[in-house]
């Protein structure tokens, strides 16, 4: 038995966490067994690394930062995602390897070919690949407004970076979605929440046969 692995990707404030929750609720309503998780994080060890990476105040070299994200991902995959998929569950993950490529490779590394090559090698070692990746895209002005509106308070390391960084990240996600066009679907996330939700349901629908009889 193998489940269904769906990832949400995109820049800050695009609505990933909102839409991941809405999709998880919808699929649970259809009777599917859903594990909703996030990166960096998703296991106790990976959540500790998340805290270190996002709020630790450290400035690792880009290569070290990439490896720390993949270390967190290895724990998350080995101890949570792979077992859930093996048990036939739907795993919905808020960010995954594409975020490392977009944020560290394009954002921090500014597309440095050596860094992108390292990321490509590390992602090839991850034993699970998403069946479907929803890349949520919004214009920068909307992202900024949504980030300001969001209630959770703490500003993380990446949110605090400048608009040029976020523009490189957005361009990185767009390039990834075009390159991996079979796996990735770009979603116009500038629409109201329930319109985006319906677009996502329409994309996900055909994948559900693989995860049960919904």
Ligand X SMILES: Nc1ncnc2c1ncn2[C@@H]1O[C@H](COP(=O)(O)OP(=O)(O)OP(=O)(O)O)[C@@H](O)[C@H]1O
Residue 196 site contact among ligand X, Mg ion, none (CB < 5 to 8 Å, cut-off depends on kind)? ligand X
Contacts (CB under 5 A) with Mg ion, residues 8-47? 16-17
User: What are the CA-CA distances from residue 201 to residues 2, 27, 194, 207 (Å)?
Assistant: 21, 9, 10, 10
Cβ 4 vs Cβ 91: under 8 Å? yes
Would you state the torsion angle of the CA atoms of residues 122, 123, 124, 127, taken in this order, to the nearest 10 degrees? 110
Are 133 and 9 in contact by the 8 Å Cβ rule? The answer is: yes
Q: Which two tokens stand for residue 188?
A: 């116009």
Q: How far apart are CA 111 and CA 86, in angstroms?
A: 35
Give the one entry of ligand X, Mg ion, none that residue 40 binds, where binding means its C-beta sits below a cut-off of 5 to 8 angstroms depending on kind. none
Which residue's CB is nearer to Mg ion, number 119 or number 189?
Answer: 189
Scanning 69-77, 127-135, 145-153, 160-168 for contacts with ligand X by CB under 6 A, the matching segment is 145-153
Q: Up-side HSE of residue 2: CA atoms within 13 Å toward CB?
A: 8
Nearest to 93 by CA among 186, 20, 191, 13: 20
Q: Which of 149, 162, 182, 206 binds ligand X (CB under 6 A)?
A: 149
Compute the least distance from the CB of residue 116 to Mg ion, in Å: 24
> Which residues, including other chains, have CB under 8 Å from residue 83's CB and lie 6 or more apart?
none
Binding partner of residue 209 among Mg ion, ligand X, none, CB cut-off 5 to 8 Å per kind: none
**Cβ closest to ligand X, residue 11 vs residue 62:** 11
**Applying CB under 6 A, does 14 fall inside the site for ligand X?**
yes
Per rule CB under 6 A, count of chain residues that contact ligand X: 14
Q: Single out the residue of 58, 150, 178, 209 in contact with ligand X (rule: CB under 6 A).
A: 150
CB 65 within 8 A of CB 49: no
Q: Stretches 10-18, 61-69, 107-115, 165-173: which one binds ligand X (CB under 6 A)?
A: 10-18
Q: Which of 23, 187, 196, 211 binds ligand X (CB under 6 A)?
A: 196
Residues that bind ligand X (CB under 6 A): 10, 12-18, 146, 149-150, 192-193, 196
């Amino acid at each position: 038995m193998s489940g269904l692995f769906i990832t949400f990707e995109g820049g800050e404030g695009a609505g990933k966490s909102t839409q991941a929750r809405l999709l998880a609720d919808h699929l649970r309503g259809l009777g599917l067994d859903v594990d909703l998780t996030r990166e960096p994080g998703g296991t106790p060890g990976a959540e500790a690394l998340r805290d270190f990476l996002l709020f630790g105040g450290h400035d690792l070299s880009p290569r070290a930062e990439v490896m720390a994200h993949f270390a967190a991902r290895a724990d998350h995959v080995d101890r949570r995602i792979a077992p859930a998929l093996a048990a036939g569950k739907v795993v919905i993950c808020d960010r995954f390897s594409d975020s490392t490529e977009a944020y560290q490779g394009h954002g921090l590394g500014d597309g440095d070919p050596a860094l992108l090559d390292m990321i490509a090698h590390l992602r090839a070692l991850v034993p699970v690949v998403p069946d479907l990746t929803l890349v949520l895209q919004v214009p920068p002005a909307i992202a900024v407004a949504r980030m300001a509106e969001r209630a959770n308070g703490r500003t993380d390391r990446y949110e605090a970076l400048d608009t040029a960084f976020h523009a490189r990240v957005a361009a990185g996600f767009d390039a990834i979605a075009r390159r991996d066009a079979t796996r990735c679907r770009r979603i116009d996330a500038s629409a109201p929440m329930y319109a985006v939700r319906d677009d996502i349901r329409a994309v996900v629908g055909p994948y559900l046969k693989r995860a049960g009889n919904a």
